[in-house]
Amino acid sequence: MASEPVARAVAEEVVRWGSMKQTGVSLRYMMEFGSRPTERNLLLSAQFLQKELPIRIARRALELESLPFGLSSKPAILKVRDWYLDSFRDIRYFPEVRNRNDELAFTQMIKMVKVRHNNVVPTMALGVQQLKKQLCHTRKVPFGFDEIHEFLDRFYMSRIGIRMLIGQHVALHDPEPEPGVIGLINTRLSPIQVAQAACEDARSICLRQYGSAPDISIYGDPNFTFPYVTSHLHLMLFELVKNSLRAVQERYMNSDKDVPPVRIIVADGAEDVTIKVSDEGGGIARSGLPRIFTYLYSTAKNPPELDGPNEGITMAGYGFGLPISRLYAQYFGGDLQIISMEGYGMVILHLVD
């Protein structure tokens, strides 16, 4: 355990670095820079990350210590804060990166930092769920709960950025990347192929949970490609398709009618790539639409307990899927919209080409 003077020194460093301005990095810049992963460029990338990551991590650590309604004192939130402080310490006190050996050692270290933060989303969800349960129990649900939603948006958007920067740097060390792939970015990504893979994954979970799953029809040019991060698009489509499958499955489970398919349309526009996911699962009541992008809002009838026994991915319940999917879309300048009509649900995903 760190001595008190050391802990105080780290706390002061966190405050100092948390007040610095972070540097934005675009998808285009990452593609151009990463297209030449020479030793010199990898060294420059590591030197940039050694300065940039402590700023981003310190900002989140500071926010985690000053959340409203006692959220900062929840055990789950304290655990996440400690992960951020540990990562800040690891990066900030790593020797200055000067040569190839330093760069390789630094890359291994930030890989471990990324692994440390793998469970941040469910752990944060647990802390917020604990607070919500406590507030509902005391019937003191504050009007200012919006503050927490705004914090979570900032927090998760920052997390996407940190993981993208680390993941891109680490992936550039791949000695035999696939054709057209630069780090995490596929310069010739086929949205149809990603949609097919996401649909297979979502249907397998639906089959496991319900014993059957609606069909999915995908429309669009199979030869169309554009530059994007495959894992980001898969995550978004998986979440959207999973929601549609559940809605249709639950609506038609005890019906004699034919189960309608979930439909996905991929369109390449002049300014962006648009993907529409639509279903006949009943839609969302108009009263629920303003809350659809708030954390822990779920249309599931029996949301699972995050701190109870968990068998991995479920069809629904945490209420984090849609807001986080929208953040992934917004990270590179896109967006996600929900349109609901009586009996029908529709999600429009806009991705900047």
Q: Do 289 and 194 fall within a single domain?
A: yes
- What is the residue-level pLDDT of the chain in tens, covering all 353 positions? 455 676 888 899 999 999 999 999 999 999 999 999 999 999 999 999 999 999 999 999 999 999 988 999 999 999 999 999 999 999 999 999 999 999 999 999 999 999 999 999 999 989 988 888 887 766 555 555 788 889 999 999 999 999 999 999 999 999 999 999 999 999 999 999 999 999 999 999 999 999 999 999 999 999 999 999 999 999 999 999 999 999 999 999 888 899 999 999 999 988 899 999 999 999 887 777 777 888 866 655 554 555 554 444 554 455 688 999 999 999 999 999 999 888 899 999 999 87
Q: Do 91 and 172 fall within a single domain?
A: yes
- Radius of gyration for the alpha carbons in the chain, expressed in angstroms and rounded: 22
Residue 118 burial (C-beta neighbours within 10 Å; 0-12, 13-18, 19+): exposed
pTM: 0.90
Q: Do 169 and 196 fall within a single domain?
A: no
Backbone angles phi, psi at 79, to 5 degrees: -65, -45
User: Which has the closest alpha carbon to 242: 274, 211, 213, 284?
Assistant: 213
Q: Do 211 and 339 fall within a single domain?
A: yes
Q: Do 154 and 189 fall within a single domain?
A: no
Last residue of a domain, one of 154, 179, 204: 179
Which residues, 6+ apart, have CB-to-CB distance to 189 below 8 Å?
A: 225, 226, 227, 228, 230, 233
Q: Do 92 and 220 fall within a single domain?
A: no
CA atoms of 235 and 81, how far apart (whole Å): 25
Q: Do 162 and 209 fall within a single domain?
A: no
Which CATH number goes with the domain that contains 141? 1.20.140.20
Question: Containing domain of residue 72, as a range?
Answer: 4-179
Q: Do 231 and 331 fall within a single domain?
A: yes
Q: Do 100 and 117 fall within a single domain?
A: yes
Last residue of a domain, one of 179, 206, 227: 179
Q: Do 149 and 280 fall within a single domain?
A: no
Q: Please state the domain count of the chain.
A: 2
Q: Do 161 and 266 fall within a single domain?
A: no
